[in-house]
Amino acid sequence: MTRNYKQCIKDINNIDLEDICSDWQWLLNNEYLLVMVSKSGDMFLSGKNGEISRLDTGKGQLEIVAQSLNEFINALEDTGNIEDWLLPSIVLNLIQNGLLLKENEVYSYRIMPILHGDYSLTNFVVTNIYVHFSITGQICKQLKELPDGTKIAKISFVPHNH
């Protein structure tokens, strides 16, 4: 099925980009510029060499997906890349089920994949974009050095004012 990737991305013109990246700087090191945000709550960023990386906020992983912005735009013509990076099947199902996003919202996880959450429709919830990136960034930072299988008793959050 051909999908238009623009159905799955946020308009970031009125979003405080520095703010949504702030709780991810432990991974980004202020070396990236935000290029795109998916409705499914991931970031696409340009690195200092022009490469484009995807920040998977559900797993806390940063992965290069293209060597340049042009290569990235071309890669978005491939339905396999769109499906992997933007989760259009999930996004469109959520919309069809009445979960519509406002300007400052994304789909976030009830239970993040890093905490063994899945990609089922029932595991997604409409969330304020600032809250989503803050909470996922803080959780992934706290979990980054724990060995697999570690029992987690407590996760703490630092609230931000928006």
- What tens digit of pLDDT does each residue of 8-31 get? 999 999 999 999 999 999 999 999
Q: Where does the pLDDT of residue 152 fall: very low under 50, low under 70, confident under 90, or very high at 90 and above? A: low
Distance CA 133, CA 67 (A): 25
Residue 2 has pLDDT above 80, yes or no: no
Mean of all residue pLDDT scores within the chain: 90
- pTM, two decimal places: 0.88
pLDDT of residue 86: 95
Structure-model confidence comparison of residues 25 and 5, the more confident one:
25
Residues 6+ apart with CB under 8 A from 145: none
Residue 153 has pLDDT above 90, yes or no: no
pLDDT of residue 144: 82
Q: Where does the pLDDT of residue 150 fall: very low under 50, low under 70, confident under 90, or very high at 90 and above? A: low
Q: Are 28 and 45 in contact (CB under 8 A)?
A: yes
Residue 75 main-chain phi, psi, to 5 deg: -65, -25
Buried b (16+ CB within 10 A) or exposed e, 14-27: ebeeeebbebbeeb
Mean pLDDT of the region 106-110: 96
- The domain locations on the chain are 15-143
Q: Are 114 and 63 in contact (CB under 8 A)?
A: no
- What tens digit of pLDDT does each residue of 44-72 get? 999 999 999 999 999 999 999 999 999 99
Query: Between vectors from CA 25 to CA 117 and to CA 6, what angle results, nearest 5°?
Result: 60
Mean pLDDT of the region 109-136: 94
Distance CA 108, CA 134 (A): 11
Q: Are 62 and 46 in contact (CB under 8 A)?
A: no
Buried b (16+ CB within 10 A) or exposed e, 54-87: bbbbbbbebeebbeeeeebeebbeeeebbeebbb
